[in-house]
């Protein structure tokens, strides 16, 4: 009996030992599983990126050399195009990998330089090479213009491309290929910088190609490009006369997006949204400078503003997605674009969830380099989710608070990667989105940007950092911001069109001001000067200066039936000068 009791007590004690050891063991297992996943997924991701680059990518057959295909998906949705933005962000990742040792990528980078030089010369619906055409968002994979209806212009592409190529040009200079940098790469960069200096203060479509206003992402990308572009110009003995002068103006304007404790990603537009948008987190990781302090003005990853914004944006998805149900504060969630999203019913995106992790990995690097962490009133709510009793103050690297924060933020960062892992198929293929309730991959398959975002986030995790772009010498906000002036032209549309009672004439066209070809939202023309001998309809519309556009007139009757005038589309172009006027005199055909 006693022997049995002793035996039973020993068994209980042994069981208690196992239970006590379980959490650390489980953590070790989870850590090992995550490390194994990252190793495997990194290989899948670089292969996935390369497969989507022409001409020899396994899923990019038919694309020209150096062209990044957004996705091999050709229907529901059709992403068989090359976007200037996606391509630049992808090549930024590839160029950084090249700089850090993967020399197999150089021929693809050289192909990219050549392809972009050609694209810069393609006249398109946004304009010609010298009249706004660099703001065209996407092209066919054979380097011809896409002429269908789209949200254009998008002004982030040139700045992003300049940044990617500045990285490459600097490497070339440092490795004895100065002439290649000056003769092949700089001409592409110079055109992008010229576009950026001319158009940074104009409205345009945002990162998601939906909102036409002032975009934080575009402005932050522009600021970085102008700063590093000016430095490269000096190195090469080239001119970028307006780069240095424009950069502080852009930085000043960027401060306007900070409202109520987060970044309102789109302003100067009534879009009905809160503005809590992951594009602000993507901005922070794009403009991350490993040599920077935790600068609020440039929204560095470790800055109080960027951390507060990280919480505001990620929290906005905690209760709206079924996959996030029951996940408490301080634990990672699946992240989408913005809470009001309706595209494919509005789901988490792989690249958005990766971005949330990457910002925190970058912040960890900055804190460790600086040797301290400062918790302010602005950032304290972010830290309290992880360490509830944390107080405001500055904590040195030897303090228990510093060590606790670093440990907690590292676990939090990894948790975002683990969320992506949970919804990644066994073969590692990354679509654009995963279903908000089931986690099933959705939308475009093998999205290049999804793969690139995984590489970028996990490289930051491994301590592989991007290069400095000179943030430390370009983070002072001018005491007085110059307002972004409007630069529009007044275009008067005159058309002689005979109508019957109940019919009215409207104009539609390829730019937002002309309703993006939507007959339901056509701009009405006035018939107050109409006579049987002179059936004149007229309207004066403000369209941004230096903009090329196409248009047509339509008739609507009392029943709402629409009659289009015959092909081809008409074309117009506003003057370069602000507040200029233009007259278009047409006859219905």
How confident is the model over 438-496, as pLDDT tens digits?
999 999 999 999 999 999 999 999 999 999 999 999 999 999 887 655 678 899 999 99
Is 150 annotated to bind a ligand? Reply is: yes
Residue 336: which of 318, 322, 349 has the closest Cα?
A: 349
Query: From the CB of residue 555, how many other CB atoms can be counted at a distance below 10 Å?
Result: 20
As a whole number, mean pLDDT of residues 524-540 equals 97
Give residue 412's Cα distance to chain centre. 23
* Mean pLDDT (whole number) for 17-42: 72
At a CB cut-off of 8 Å and minimum separation 6, what does 437 contact? 321, 322, 323
Whether the pLDDT of residue 431 is over 80: the answer is yes
CA–CA gap between residue 7 and residue 225 (Å, rounded): 73
Which whole number is the average pLDDT over 418-424?
97
As a whole number of angstroms, the distance between CA 171 and CA 160 comes to 17
Question: Which tops the pLDDT comparison, 232 or 152?
Answer: 232
pLDDT digit string, tens, across residues 49-76:
999 999 999 999 999 999 999 999 999 9
Average pLDDT of the residues in 116-138: 92
Residue pair 210/256 in contact (Cβ under 8 Å)? The answer is no
Instruction: State pLDDT tens for residues 298-310.
Output: 999 999 999 999 9
- Supply the mean pLDDT for the chain: 92
Residue 203's pLDDT band, with cuts at 50, 70 and 90, is confident
Higher pLDDT, 151 or 307: 307
Q: What is the pLDDT of residue 271?
A: 80
Rounded CA-CA distance 351/371 in Å is 30
pLDDT in tens, 556-587: 998 989 999 999 999 898 887 888 999 999 99
Which pairing describes strands 138-139 and 82-83: parallel, antiparallel, or unpaired?
antiparallel
Catalytic residue set: 206, 209
Termini Cα distance of the chain? 107
Contact 305, 378 (CB under 8 A): yes
pLDDT score at 9? 36
Cβ atoms 507, 523 nearer than 8 A:
yes
CB distance 588 to 495 below 8 Å = yes
Q: How far is CA 340 from the centre of its chain?
A: 17
Distances in whole angstroms, Cα of residue 434 to Cα of each of 71, 349, 357, 514: 16, 6, 17, 35
Residue 540, pLDDT > 70, answer yes
User: Residue 589: which of 501, 503, 505 has the closest Cα?
Assistant: 505
pLDDT at 532 over 90: yes
Residue 320 · residue 334 · CB < 8 Å: no
Residue 23: pLDDT over 70: no
Give this prediction's pTM. 0.84
Structure tokens at 346: 């509005």
Grade residue 537 by pLDDT with cuts at 50, 70 and 90: very high
Confidence of residue 1 (pLDDT cuts 50, 70, 90): very low
The pLDDT, as a whole number, for residue 26 is 60
Element (H, E) at 573: strand 570-573
Task: Give the pLDDT score at 55.
Answer: 96
């Amino acid at each position: 009996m006693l022997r049995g009791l002793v035996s039973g007590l020993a068994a209980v004690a042994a069981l208690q030992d196992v239970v006590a050891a379980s959490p650390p063991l489980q953590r070790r297992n989870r850590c090992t599983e995550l490390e194994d996943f990252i190793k495997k997924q990194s290989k899948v991701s670089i292969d996935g990126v390369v497969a989507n680059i022409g001409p020899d990518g396994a899923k990019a057959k038919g694309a020209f050399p150096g062209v990044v295909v957004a996705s091999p998906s050709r229907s529901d949705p059709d992403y068989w195009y090359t976007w200037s933005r996606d391509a630049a962000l992808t090549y930024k990742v590839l160029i950084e990998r090249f700089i850090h040792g993967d020399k197999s990528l150089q021929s693809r980078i050289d192909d990219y330089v050549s392809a972009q030089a050609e694209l810069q010369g393609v006249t398109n619906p946004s304009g010609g090479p010298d009249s706004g055409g660099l703001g065209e968002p996407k092209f066919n994979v054979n380097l011809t213009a896409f002429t269908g209806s789209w949200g254009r212009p998008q002004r982030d592409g040139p700045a992003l491309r300049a940044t990617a190529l500045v990285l490459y040009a600097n490497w070339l200079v440092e490795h004895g290929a100065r002439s290649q940098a000056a003769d092949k790469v700089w001409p592409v960069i110079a055109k992008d910088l010229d576009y950026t200096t001319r158009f940074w203060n104009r409205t345009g479509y945002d990162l998601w190609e939906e909102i036409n206003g002032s975009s934080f992402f575009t402005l932050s990308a522009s600021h970085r490009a102008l700063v590093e572009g000016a430095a490269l110009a000096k190195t090469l003995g080239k001119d970028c006369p307006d780069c240095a002068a424009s950069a502080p103006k852009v930085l000043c304007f960027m401060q306007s997006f900070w409202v109520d404790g987060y970044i309102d990603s789109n302003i100067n537009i009534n879009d009905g949204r809160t503005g809590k948008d992951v594009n602000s987190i993507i901005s922070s990781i794009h403009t991350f400078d490993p040599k920077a302090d935790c600068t609020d003005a440039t929204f560095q990853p470790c800055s109080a503003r960027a951390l507060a914004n990280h919480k505001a944006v990620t929290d906005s998805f905690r209760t709206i997605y079924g996959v996030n149900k029951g996940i408490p504060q301080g634990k990672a969630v699946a992240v989408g674009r913005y809470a009001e999203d309706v595209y494919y019913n509005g789901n988490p995106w792989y690249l958005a969830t990766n971005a949330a992790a990457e910002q925190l990995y970058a912040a960890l690097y900055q804190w460790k380099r600086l040797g301290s962490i400062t918790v302010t009133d602005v950032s304290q709510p972010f830290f309290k989710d992880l360490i509830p009793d944390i107080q405001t103050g500055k904590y040195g690297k030897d303090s228990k608070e510093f060590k606790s924060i670093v440990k907690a933020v590292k676990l939090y960062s990894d948790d975002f990667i683990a969320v992506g892992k949970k919804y990644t198929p066994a073969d590692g293929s990354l679509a654009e989105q995963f279903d908000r309730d089931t986690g099933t991959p959705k939308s475009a398959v093998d999205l290049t940007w999804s793969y690139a975002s995984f590489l970028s986030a996990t490289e930051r995790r491994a301590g592989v950092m991007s290069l400095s772009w000179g943030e430390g010498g370009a983070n002072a906000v001018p005491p007085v911001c110059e307002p972004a002036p409007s630069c529009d032209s007044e275009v008067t549309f005159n058309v002689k069109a005979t109508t019957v009672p109940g019919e009215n004439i409207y104009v539609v066209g390829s730019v937002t001001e002309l309703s993006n070809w939507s007959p339901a939202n056509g701009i009405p023309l006035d018939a107050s000067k109409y006579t049987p001998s002179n059936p004149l309809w007229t309207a004066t519309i403000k369209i941004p200066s230096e903009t090329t556009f196409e248009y047509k007139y339509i008739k609507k009757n009392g029943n709402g039936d629409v009659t289009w005038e015959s092909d081809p589309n008409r074309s117009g172009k506003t003057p370069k000068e602000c507040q200029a006027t233009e007259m278009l005199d047409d006859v219905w055909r």
